[in-house]
């Protein structure tokens, strides 16, 4: 009996992962006339519902507009000109417009993913959900291979010019391209995030330092609030019933004359906080982008923005290389990206260290309050935060 092998295909760029990085890379390459195949191990529905980032730097918004993804973003995105920093019973406003002439925009990652999937499918791009057993091989040759089994159980082998590993922190591509050096910091706390069906109680995000732990009031839409609590890394969601979540939020945000509105909690999640950078971001013909190459704690709202900047740079580099035969930008990709990654890594670590409390460490607490006071009273210190937050300072 003859045994049938995998179905063979040919493409220019094989992309692992249909998160923001993989989908946007495919979109940018298609605009430059370069074909790609994207494979994703979750369903389309799962990808479109996974709650994560919500805050876009000005440069991210500009890029999405330029590449035809601005329609819903313009209609539904909420532009913010600053943030509030709360500590020691006071709330201070940092005015980004005034300090840096720049803004940020609230538009959920779920919506960007929906826009990108719709654009990819409308463009007739090869996008496969619910695949299993993804593997990349032959990355040190001119013809790297992407292998996967589709949702119907059929095995495929795609011959590529280049493979892009956009498969997040737990993906397979970073394993296929072992790092020469890794820098990592695991923090002793997590973020308990809730999505609540209640109008936000604030016009801009509130970052609240509190002796019991950090709290963040973020916004998803005029009807939906996103709220976070610092909790010990050892906690489990079952320890945080809704009434305990609201009580802790009320306590940490408390301010005379201001009320935190409560509503039904639709979703709850725990995110461990971690900083992680690996080098290099490339091995042979396998390039890593987004969370596959680096992780920042969400305090600086940088992860999604970094992923977008990685693939913007990678798309240009691959267009020059595969389109015009010039490999210089592709060769520079890893080093150029790392400079920007380290800027975001420092800012995210700094915001995390300034705002999250360590039980029993009064020395640390006093340093944090001093830093917060300086950030809200010195124009130079406030501008440094604003430049990093809006992305004006991106290397």
Ligand X SMILES: Cc1cc2nc3c(=O)[nH]c(=O)nc-3n(C[C@H](O)[C@H](O)[C@H](O)COP(=O)(O)OP(=O)(O)OC[C@H]3O[C@@H](n4cnc5c(N)ncnc54)[C@H](O)[C@@H]3O)c2cc1C
CA distances from 234 to 238, 274, 335, 351 (A): 12, 14, 36, 22
**Pairing verdict, β 82-87 and 90-95:** antiparallel
Q: Which is nearer to ligand X, 168 or 200 (CB)?
A: 168
Closest distance to ligand X from the beta carbon of 303 (Å): 2
- Alpha-helical (H) ranges within 254-361 are 303-318, 324, 328-355
Q: Which is nearer to ligand X, 210 or 302 (CB)?
A: 302
Which residues of the chain form contacts with ligand X (CB under 6 A)? 16-22, 39-42, 47, 52-55, 109, 131, 134, 166-168, 171-172, 191, 193, 271, 290-291, 298, 301-305, 307
Closest distance to ligand X from the beta carbon of 99 (Å): 20
Please confirm, yes or no, whether 389 is among the known catalytic residues: yes
Residues 71, 76, 80, CA angle at the centre, nearest 5°? 115
Please confirm, yes or no, whether 80 is among the known catalytic residues: yes
Closest distance to ligand X from the beta carbon of 268 (Å): 11
Closest distance to ligand X from the beta carbon of 179 (Å): 16
Closest to 289 measured CA to CA, from 272, 312, 271, 269: 312
Please confirm, yes or no, whether 298 is among the known catalytic residues: yes
Q: Which is nearer to ligand X, 56 or 248 (CB)?
A: 56
Residue with tokens 């329609």: 71
Q: Which is nearer to ligand X, 144 or 303 (CB)?
A: 303
Q: Which is nearer to ligand X, 274 or 373 (CB)?
A: 274
Residues 209, 217, 298, 333: which is the catalytic one? 298
Q: Name the DSSP letter for residue 255.
A: B
Closest distance to ligand X from the beta carbon of 306 (Å): 7
Tokens of 275: 């900083």
Residues 80, 209, 217, 356: which is the catalytic one? 80
Q: Please give the radius of gyration of the chain, using alpha carbons only, rounded to the nearest integer.
A: 22
Integer distance in angstroms from the first to the last C-alpha of the chain?
A: 60
Diameter of the chain by CA atoms? 80
The residues near 264 (Cβ < 8 Å, ≥ 6 apart) are: 196, 197, 198
Please confirm, yes or no, whether 302 is among the known catalytic residues: yes
Residues 58, 217, 294, 302: which is the catalytic one? 302
Please confirm, yes or no, whether 148 is among the known catalytic residues: no
Distance CA 375, CA 366 (A): 14
**Which residues are catalytic, by number?**
80, 207, 298, 302, 389
């Amino acid at each position: 009996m003859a045994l049938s092998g995998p179905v063979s295909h040919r493409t220019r760029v094989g992309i692992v992962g249909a998160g923001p990085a993989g989908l946007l890379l495919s979109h940018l390459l298609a605009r430059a006339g370069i074909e790609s195949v994207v494979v994703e191990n979750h369903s389309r529905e799962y990808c479109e519902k996974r709650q994560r980032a919500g805050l876009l730097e000005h440069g991210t918004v500009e890029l999405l507009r330029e590449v035809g993804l601005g329609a819903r973003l313009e209609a539904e995105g909420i532009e913010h000109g600053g943030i509030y920093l709360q500590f020691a019973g006071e709330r201070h406003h940092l005015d980004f417009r005034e300090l840096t002439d720049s803004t940020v925009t609230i538009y959920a990652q779920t919506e960007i993913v929906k826009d990108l999937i719709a654009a990819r499918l409308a463009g007739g791009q090869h996008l496969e959900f619910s695949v299993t057993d993804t593997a990349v091989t032959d990355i040190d040759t001119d013809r790297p291979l992407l292998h996967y089994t589709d949702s119907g159980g059929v095995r495929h082998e795609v011959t590529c010019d280049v493979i892009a590993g956009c498969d997040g922190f737990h993906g397979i591509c970073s394993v296929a391209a072992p790092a020469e050096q890794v820098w990592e910091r695991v923090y002793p706390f997590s973020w308990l995030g809730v999505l609540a069906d209640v109008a936000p109680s604030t016009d801009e995000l509130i970052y609240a330092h509190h002796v019991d732990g950090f709290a963040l009031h973020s916004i998803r839409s005029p009807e939906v609030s996103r709220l976070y609590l610092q909790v010990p890394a050892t906690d489990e969601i079952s320890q945080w019933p809704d009434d305990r979540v609201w009580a802790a939020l009320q306590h940490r945000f408390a301010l005379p004359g201001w009320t935190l509105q409560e509503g039904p909690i639709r979703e709850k999640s725990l995110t461990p906080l971690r900083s992680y950078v690996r080098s290099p971001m490339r091995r042979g013909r396998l390039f890593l982008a987004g969370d596959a190459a680096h992780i920042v704690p969400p305090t600086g709202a940088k992860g999604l923005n970094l992923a977008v900047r990685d693939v913007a740079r990678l798309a240009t580099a691959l267009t020059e290389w595969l389109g015009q035969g010039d490999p210089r930008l592709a060769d520079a990709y890893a080093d150029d990206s790392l400079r920007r990654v380290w800027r975001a890594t420092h800012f995210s670590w700094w915001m995390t260290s300034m705002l999250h409390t360590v039980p029993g460490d009064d020395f640390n607490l006093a340093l944090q309050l001093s830093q917060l006071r300086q950030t809200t009273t010195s124009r130079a210190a406030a501008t440094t935060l604003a430049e990093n937050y809006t992305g004006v300072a991106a290397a």
